[in-house]
Amino acid sequence: MRVKNRTFWYAALLSFTIDQASKFLTVQFFDLGQTLPLLPGVFHLTYVINKGAAFGLFPNSGGLLKWISLGVSLGLVVLALRANLNRWERVGYGCILGGALGNGVDRFVRAEVVDLLDFRLIHFPVFNLADVAINIGIVCLLVAAFREGRRSDQAQKTKR
């Protein structure tokens, strides 16, 4: 049996698994608020919880966000089952699905999201690997759109 958009499913599974493993290890080995400086003053692992969206946006809106993440996840699964995606789209949408599922599982199971990546040099809010996967996915989709735009421009030039 041939699986449609196989890379999509791999990207989603890898993103989800790495995110959930990092959160599991954080909860097991850190106390809430505990920090481990990997590069002191620059990058720490810090265990915090977030009841809002990525990077601390929309605090205490987790109830709505869990349903949004579920809707996005279902929409992406339907897209992968029906559409013929190019390589960049498969990786991009797969990473977004893995990230949405990673944070969505936290919201449904814990009613909060575990965050741990703490870039102190730029005073950035603490975030997690699901957030990273979503952002990687967005970059991949931008690359896909840029490449498609260039192909479209070249096709228009050859028609003239």
- Would residue 19 show up in a list of annotated catalytic residues for this protein? no
138 neighbors 96 (Cβ within 8 angstroms): yes
Catalytic residue among 19, 106, 115, 118: 115
* Amino acid making up residue 94: G
Adjacent-strand bridge partners of 117 = 45, 127
* Amino acid making up residue 1: M
- Would residue 118 show up in a list of annotated catalytic residues for this protein? no
Adjacent-strand bridge partners of 113 = 50
What is the spatial distance between Cα 26 and Cα 120, in angstroms, rounded to a whole number?
18
Catalytic residue list: 115, 131
